[in-house]
A and B are shown apart, each in its own frame.
Chain A
């Protein structure tokens, strides 16, 4: 079994995207269960990220958690890249090996689009389930049972034929912390790097962006936003007065 986990460094925190840590944890748990069943075959957990060279720190963190191989597509641009470009680059890396299972976080914390996983699946022509909150590999490893989060507390119980792409929702597990011994070993571990020209032939050329960033704006206020002033006790009194005046307390 070969798994590939797509991870991203958050533009906000500089850390690994929270949902991606859940994706790595889920792969490591699947690996553990797989090995406990005593198969001869290995279960590998590889990670891939895209971004400037300093982003390799999140690959090291993934090694510290227990990941096997690390791939890094080095791009010059900092900041935001759109899902289509990301998914195209990830697909080019994923095609280099035949992965049975590809996991991503349900979305990035910074851009919150949740498109990379399903786009990657479509480019690779694989089935995809988004918002996964439970996984269980079938006994013959040919499929995986998952629960997909829907609205209003409902969950869809699905079985997907492998290879497949799953996007992982928070709450599915508690991501482990990297161990010290693994972190020390991670420093020496090789990360395989690619740049755009390694991934795309001259004929096809680099990925053409389909979305264009225009600007960042402050969201508009939807309510009055009256700010209470004064000491802590003053504010507590003012709140009581306002709520009492509205017959809410």
Chain B
């Protein structure tokens, strides 16, 4: 019975919530395969306390992957230590989160382990030939269904926010095992990647996080000047804030503190109004917890409409003007 490995997402020595989503995906794989045993791997310089707590909380078996070099994330160290461990286990599946860390080390791990590698998985299914993995492609307008080649293991990175964490069976306690693995840098005695510092681009996205209503703009607003209309529109609502999709920040139209999505803020307002946002999976991951979603877009096929409560197919500027007129008469 081959094992299904979950590689925990660690940050500053703390296990991250994304780990429970990956564990839920692992449970789904086990159920669909009708076999397999799940093990959670915790890479850390001091994994024992976290491993014990995790085994207690989840009821699953945990391997603490211990190395002094695993204190902070380093792709070379992660790949080498994980490879050494994984080789001895020979699992059928290796799962991790599609985060800045996961997508950094997982593809390389798949190469050294001669495994298939499927990124950004958003659903797991099966047909008569085995398990199938779905991933969002073409600007989130399609899901591509992929299967690994026969007889090889697979490394999966899972889209954050998609798999709902399970209620764990913590009646029983999982077993804890510590594996100490030394990292040895290639020939020379130095690491190839040196960590200098952590920088913070902006510490103030509190405005977005606390807002009850968020009016967001995407590339579909056309030009930078049209952001004024978005701000004016947002003023129709009390306790509102303006959000944007990533391209607007990349183009320098507005500051990072307004960015909603996987690399920006995750928000959960009572109302989210998406203006000219096509709806990439990265953006959706940041606003899926909004209570009510209204989308305005002149493209009737924009993916955002599949994830909206109310859909308005119109050009942004004329629509906002029409709306302001209605507000003025009330």
Contacts and interface: CB of A to CB of B under 8 A. Distances in A.
A42 interface: no
Given A154-B200, A161-B192, A224 B309 contact: yes
Interface in B82-104: 99-100, 103-104
B319 A147 contact: no
Contacts of A227: 305, 311-313
B137 A110 contact: yes
A11 to B, nearest CB: 8
Contact of B137 (A111, A170, A224, A237): A111
Nearest to A173: B250
Given A158-B193, A161-B192, A212-B148, A130 B100 contact: yes
Q: Is the interface of B mostly helix, strand, loop or mixed?
A: mixed
Contacts of B323: 236, 239-240
Interface residues of B, number: 92
Contacts of B202: 153
B307 A215 contact: no
A159 B263 contact: no
B158 interface: no
Interface in B107-137: 107-108, 110-112, 115-120, 132, 134-137
Contact of B308 (A143, A155, A170, A225): A225
A138 to B, nearest CB: 11
A23 B211 CA distance: 36
Interface of B: 75-76, 79, 99-100, 103-108, 110-112, 115-120, 132, 134-149, 152, 186, 190, 192-203, 205, 213, 236-237, 246-247, 249-250, 256-257, 262-265, 270-271, 281, 288, 292-294, 303, 305-314, 318-319, 322-323, 325-327, 330
Q: Is the interface of A mostly helix, strand, loop or mixed?
A: mixed
A215 B293 CA distance: 30
A249 B147 contact: no
Contact of B107 (A115, A131, A224, A243): A115
Contacts of A127: 75-76, 192-193
Contacts of B144: 80, 111, 213, 215-216
A211 B107 contact: no
B107 A118 contact: yes
A83 interface: yes
